[in-house]
Amino acid sequence: MDILNTILSLDPRILITVIGGIAFMLGSGIASIFWFRRDQVRQARAKIQATKRKKIAQVQTQQLDAGRLREISNMLTNLTATLNYNRVLELALDISMQALTSRDDPADRLIGAVLLFSRGDEESANLYIGFSRRLTPSDLPRTFPGMQGLLREVIDEGGAIQSSDIAKDVELGKIMAFQSCRSGYCIPLRHGIDTYGVIVFAHPNEHFFTANNREVLNIIVKQAVVSIQNARLYQDLELEKERMMEIQEEARKKLARDLHDGPTQSIAAIAMRVNFARRLIERDQNAASDELFKIEDLARRTTKEIRHMLFTLRPLVLESKGLTAALQSMAEKMKETYNQNVLLEITQEVVSVLEMDKQGVIFYIIEEAVNNARKHAEAKHIWVRLRPLQQDLALLEIQDDGLGFDVKSVAASYEHRGSLGMINLRERTELINGVLNIDSTPGAGTHIQVAIPLTEEAVDRLRHSV
């Protein structure tokens, strides 16, 4: 009450001023609170909008990532199902480029190339650019010896290697497109002991090939290598089918030639001699009787020739009693039919570990070589030997004391020859994963050797020793 009385006792003008000041202070405070609250509301709304935009961006990112993953998954499915060797490599390169696509670092900065060995050239390590993405046209014809730098390390070690400065690599640095790149990653295309080539990637960002990116590339290339192996196996099967058809066709042609040169001529001669003997009977019975004996002998020899041909077409004794019995039967028929001496030295321990289909191929190798020696070498003797060479290798030898020939000159003109004996020998040797060597000198006979692997390890060792 004292304070109120004091205030009321003040001069009205002072009182009005005091009341106005208090009102101003109260209004300013209320205004400050209002603006503060409004700022809080605005900030809250901005946070809500930012959260919404972030969520929308996340959803869009997830949708994009899901779409890209679906695309990559579809490409991997196509990769697995592809049996075309070249298509597999192109798909592997495309999938790798697609998998490393990002919005912050566009894929048009990533460079990729598949470097391949010419088939059968792995030992000489000549690599060529089979497929590429974003290499310059001048880079495409380049070849690489693979004897230095990153390529040699990857080929020798058989594992993927990262490079911190690929532009300065001894061999890969010659690729113009790599000059703007700082980092590289090289992965071998390898399955077991077979190396088909390498896939190399390069990027201007020195930190591009992170552990995650390397893992993605490793997975893709691993799957690609399996697909490459499947494609090659399929191609090998196709080539094998074509080769078997060619062998069958050559067998038919050989049968036609043998029939024409042997029994057909003999039967024609028999017909002519029968006609001649018929006329002799009317004039000279003794001469006619001698002629009939000659006709009988010719008919017997013709029958033997036909039986020998049937035997070589399908030696039933091979199926029932095995390789040794079949070779003994062949030697007997060669002596009986052509008076040709064939001497056998067969180690039964080797025969016992050979599968029946491999025994059949070996029989036809021997039959082909023996017939060639009989027809062309005029050999008095033909030796056939089958013996152990090493623990898991056998050696087949067919040797004669005939005329011999110049192997190089005959091989050079073989495309123009009607006979395919040497080709048959090589193709049948390949069927048993063997190695063929033909050594011959004019006047000194011919010596044929076939190294025969008896285990899978021996196949690999023999293949890489050639």
Clarify whether residues 45 and 164 are in a common domain: no
Clarify whether residues 105 and 209 are in a common domain: yes
Residue 224 burial class via C-beta count within 10 angstroms: exposed 0-12, middle 13-18, buried 19 and up: buried
For residue 65, give both structure tokens.
């990532």
pLDDT, residue 87, reads: 80
Q: Is residue 339 part of a domain?
A: yes
Q: Is the pLDDT of residue 388 over 80?
A: yes
Query: Is 459 in contact with 453 (CB distance < 8 Å)?
Result: yes
pLDDT, residue 79, reads: 59
Q: Is the pLDDT of residue 4 over 70?
A: no
Mean pLDDT, the chain, integer? 78
Residue type, 337: T
pLDDT, residue 66, reads: 47
Clarify whether residues 67 and 129 are in a common domain: no
160 phi, psi to nearest 5 deg: -70, 145
The pTM for the full model equals 0.48
Clarify whether residues 67 and 87 are in a common domain: no
Q: What confidence tier does 290 reach under pLDDT thresholds 50, 70, 90?
A: confident
pLDDT, residue 161, reads: 93
Of 26, 55, 74, which one is at a domain's C-terminal end?
74
Q: Is the pLDDT of residue 442 over 50?
A: yes
1-5, 88-92, 186-190: least confidently modelled range: 1-5
Query: Is 115 in contact with 149 (CB distance < 8 Å)?
Result: no
Q: Is residue 183 part of a domain?
A: yes
Secondary structure, 3-state, 168-226: HCCCHHHCHHHHHCCEEEEEEEEECCEEEEEEEEEECCCCCCCHHHHHHHHHHHHHHHH
With H, G, I as helix, E, B as strand and everything else as coil, classify residue 40: helix
Q: Is the pLDDT of residue 286 over 90?
A: no
Of 51, 74, 97, which one is at a domain's C-terminal end?
74
Clarify whether residues 414 and 444 are in a common domain: yes
Clarify whether residues 430 and 413 are in a common domain: yes
Q: Is pLDDT larger for residue 102 or for residue 368?
A: 368
Arithmetic mean of pLDDT, 294-299: 81
pLDDT, residue 74, reads: 58
- Buried b / exposed e over 154-180, threshold 16 CB at 10 Å, is bbeeeebbebeebbebebbbebebbee
Q: Is residue 264 part of a domain?
A: no
Arithmetic mean of pLDDT, 331-347: 89
Q: Is pLDDT larger for residue 131 or for residue 257?
A: 131
Q: Is residue 68 part of a domain?
A: yes
The predicted-structure confidence for 77-136, as pLDDT tens digits, reads as follows: 665 666 677 787 888 888 888 877 655 555 468 899 999 987 544 445 579 998 898 898
pLDDT, residue 122, reads: 45
Clarify whether residues 69 and 87 are in a common domain: no
Q: Is residue 372 part of a domain?
A: yes
Of 198, 231, 264, which one is at a domain's C-terminal end?
231
Helices 211-259, 285-313: inter-axial angle, 10-degree rounding: 170
44-58, 68-82, 416-430: least confidently modelled range: 68-82
pLDDT, residue 288, reads: 76
Q: Is the pLDDT of residue 58 over 80?
A: no
The predicted-structure confidence for 203-252, as pLDDT tens digits, reads as follows: 998 888 988 888 888 888 888 888 877 777 777 777 777 777 776 666 67
Separation between Cα atoms, residue 429 and residue 326, nearest integer Å: 19
The CATH number linked to 134 is 3.30.450.40
Q: What confidence tier does 186 reach under pLDDT thresholds 50, 70, 90?
A: very high
Q: Is residue 442 part of a domain?
A: yes
Q: Is the pLDDT of residue 37 over 90?
A: no
Q: Is residue 454 part of a domain?
A: yes
Of the segments 11-15, 76-80, 395-399, which one has the largest average pLDDT value?
Answer: 395-399
CA 90 vs CA 23, 86, 310: distances in Å: 82, 6, 51
Owning domain of residue 357: 322-466
Clarify whether residues 116 and 195 are in a common domain: yes
Q: Is pLDDT larger for residue 286 or for residue 28?
A: 286
Clarify whether residues 386 and 342 are in a common domain: yes
36-50, 183-197, 363-377: least confidently modelled range: 36-50
Q: Is residue 304 part of a domain?
A: no
Query: Is 421 in contact with 365 (CB distance < 8 Å)?
Result: no
Separation between Cα atoms, residue 67 and residue 60, nearest integer Å: 10
pLDDT, residue 63, reads: 44
* Count: domains in the chain: 3
Clarify whether residues 216 and 342 are in a common domain: no
Q: How far is Cα of residue 193 from the mean position of the Cα atoms in its chain?
A: 12
The CATH number linked to 412 is 3.30.565.10
Q: Is the pLDDT of residue 163 over 60?
A: yes
Clarify whether residues 19 and 112 are in a common domain: no
Clarify whether residues 343 and 428 are in a common domain: yes
33-37, 96-100, 303-307, 454-458: least confidently modelled range: 33-37
